[in-house]
C-alpha cells in the first residue's frame, strides 16, 4: 500500500480583512406600514429595527458580493489572484446551478480559485469561516475569501405582519489567511432539524410546475405570491435566547476566553430583543462592545455578522486586535459560534 503524502499548511489561520456593501436604497418602517397593519413603535419595540436596505435590480447577489469582497481584499493587503478559494453563503441566489461563487471568483480576478456556495441560513458565515480555517491549515489554499450575501427583500412577504419588517439586503466579506498564532477559535456548531419548520420558505419551487393554483399562496389581489420566508416568531425567539446563549458560552470555553477577556460581541443581527437577552444571559461586562447593526440594516441572514463587524471597525467602536465572540443561528435550525481576533 502506497503512502499518501500528508498536506502541509499554516499552523493557524486568522481574519486579515473585512469589507461590506449595503444597497443605496434605505427603507424606513413607514414604507413597511403601507402594506401591514402595525406601527413604527411596535416594529421598534419588537425588533429594534428602524431602517433596512433593499437592493435595486442592478445590485445583484454577485454585484454586492464583488463590492464587499474588493474592500476585504484591499483591507487584507493582498491581491485577488492570491485567493485560493471563494466560499459564498446565501439563500437568495435563485439559479440552482452554477454556484454564484464561480462568477464572483472570475470577476474578482482570482485566477481559477476553488469556488462554491453553501446554504446554512443565518449561520452561513460561521460555517464558511470554519471551512476557510480548515483549508488554510490543511494547505489547500493560502487565502480564502468568505462571503455572506443576501437579497432577502426578494423573499419578503410584505403582507405578512410577522415578517414584513424584518429583512434587508447586503453583502459582507472577509479574507482569511495564514497565521503563526491561533486567531480563530474552535467552532461550536450543529443543527436541530426537528425544528426545521420554524423558519422556512412558504412553498417549494417545484410547486410552480404543478399548474394547480390551489397549491400556491395568493396575495390580497388573488395573484400568485412569490415564495417567501416565514417563521414561528415566538418559538424562534425562545430557542435563540435560551439555547444560543449556551452555544455562545461553549464557544468561549472552547477558546479558553472568559467574558472578562472579551472585547466585542457580534451575534447574528436577527432581533435586538434577542441580542439584549443573550447579553444578559451571558452576563457580559459593560466594557464589551455589542453589535447592533440590526437597527439600520435589518436581518440580512448570512451577511449580518460580517456587515456588523465591518461597521464596528469602520466607526471605531471596535479596533484591530480586539477579541470578538461571533455567533450565527437560524433556519435549519442551524448555528455556529467561535471566538476571533478582529482584523
Which residues belong to the active site? 122, 268, 299
From its phi and psi, is residue 109 left (phi > 0), alpha (psi between -120 and 50) or beta?
A: left
**Nearest of 326, 312, 341, 343 to residue 123 by alpha carbon:** 326
Triad 314, 165, 96: Cα angle to 5°: 80
Dihedral (Cα; 253, 272, 155, 239), 10-degree rounding: 50
Residue 12 forms beta bridges with which residues? 179
Count Cβ atoms within 10 A of the Cβ of residue 215 and give its class: 0-12 exposed, 13-18 middle, 19 or more buried.
exposed
From its phi and psi, is residue 309 left (phi > 0), alpha (psi between -120 and 50) or beta?
A: alpha
How far apart are the C-alpha atoms of 287 and 320, rounded to whole Å? 16
Count Cβ atoms within 10 A of the Cβ of residue 22 and give its class: 0-12 exposed, 13-18 middle, 19 or more buried.
buried
Half-sphere exposure of 15 (CA within 13 A, CB side): 30
Decide: 72 and 303 in contact? Cβ < 8 Å.
no
3-state DSSP percent of the chain in helix, strand and coil, to 5: 40, 25, 35
How far apart are the C-alpha atoms of 74 and 80, rounded to whole Å? 9
How far apart are the C-alpha atoms of 112 and 76, rounded to whole Å? 20
Query: 191: how many CB neighbours lie within 10 A of its CB?
Result: 14
How far apart are the C-alpha atoms of 117 and 79, rounded to whole Å? 22
Q: Which helix (H) or strand (E) holds 329?
A: strand 323-330
Amino acid at each position: 500500500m502506497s503512502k499518501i503524502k500528508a498536506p502541509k499548511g499554516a499552523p493557524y489561520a486568522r481574519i486579515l480583512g473585512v469589507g461590506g456593501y449595503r444597497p443605496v436604497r434605505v427603507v424606513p418602517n413607514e414604507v413597511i406600514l403601507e402594506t401591514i397593519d402595525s406601527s413604527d413603535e411596535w416594529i421598534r419595540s419588537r425588533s429594534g429595527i428602524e431602517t433596512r436596505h433593499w437592493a435595486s435590480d442592478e445590485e445583484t447577489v454577485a454585484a454586492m458580493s464583488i463590492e464587499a469582497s474588493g474592500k476585504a481584499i484591499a483591507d487584507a493587503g493582498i491581491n485577488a489572484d492570491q485567493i485560493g478559494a471563494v466560499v459564498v453563503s446565501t439563500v437568495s441566489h435563485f439559479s440552482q446551478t452554477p454556484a454564484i461563487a464561480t462568477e464572483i471568483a472570475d470577476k474578482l480576478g482570482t485566477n481559477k480559485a476553488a469556488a462554491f456556495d453553501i446554504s446554512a441560513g443565518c449561520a452561513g458565515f460561521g460555517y464558511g469561516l470554519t471551512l476557510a480555517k480548515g483549508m488554510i491549515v490543511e494547505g489547500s489554499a493560502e487565502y480564502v475569501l468568505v462571503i455572506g450575501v443576501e437579497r432577502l427583500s426578494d423573499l419578503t412577504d410584505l403582507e405578512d405582519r410577522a415578517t414584513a419588517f424584518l429583512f434587508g439586503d447586503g453583502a459582507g466579506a472577509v479574507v482569511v489567511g495564514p497565521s503563526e498564532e491561533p486567531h480563530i477559535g474552535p467552532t461550536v456548531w450543529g443543527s436541530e432539524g426537528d425544528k426545521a419548520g420554524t423558519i422556512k420558505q412558504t412553498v417549494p419551487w417545484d410547486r410552480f410546475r404543478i399548474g394547480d393554483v390551489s397549491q400556491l399562496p395568493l396575495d390580497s389581489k388573488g395573484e400568485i405570491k412569490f415564495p417567501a420566508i416565514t417563521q414561528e416568531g415566538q418559538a424562534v425567539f425562545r430557542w435563540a435566547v435560551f439555547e444560543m446563549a449556551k452555544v455562545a458560552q461553549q464557544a468561549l470555553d472552547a477558546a479558553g476566553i472568559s467574558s472578562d477577556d472579551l472585547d466585542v460581541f457580534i451575534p447574528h443581527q436577527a432581533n435586538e430583543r434577542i441580542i439584549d437577552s443573550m447579553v444578559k444571559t451571558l452576563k457580559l461586562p459593560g466594557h464589551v462592545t455589542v453589535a447592533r447593526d440590526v437597527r439600520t440594516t435589518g436581518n440580512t441572514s448570512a451577511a449580518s455578522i460580517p456587515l456588523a463587524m465591518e461597521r464596528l471597525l469602520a466607526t471605531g467602536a471596535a479596533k484591530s486586535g480586539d477579541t470578538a465572540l461571533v455567533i450565527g443561528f437560524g433556519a435549519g435550525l442551524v448555528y455556529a459560534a467561535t471566538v476571533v481576533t478582529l482584523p
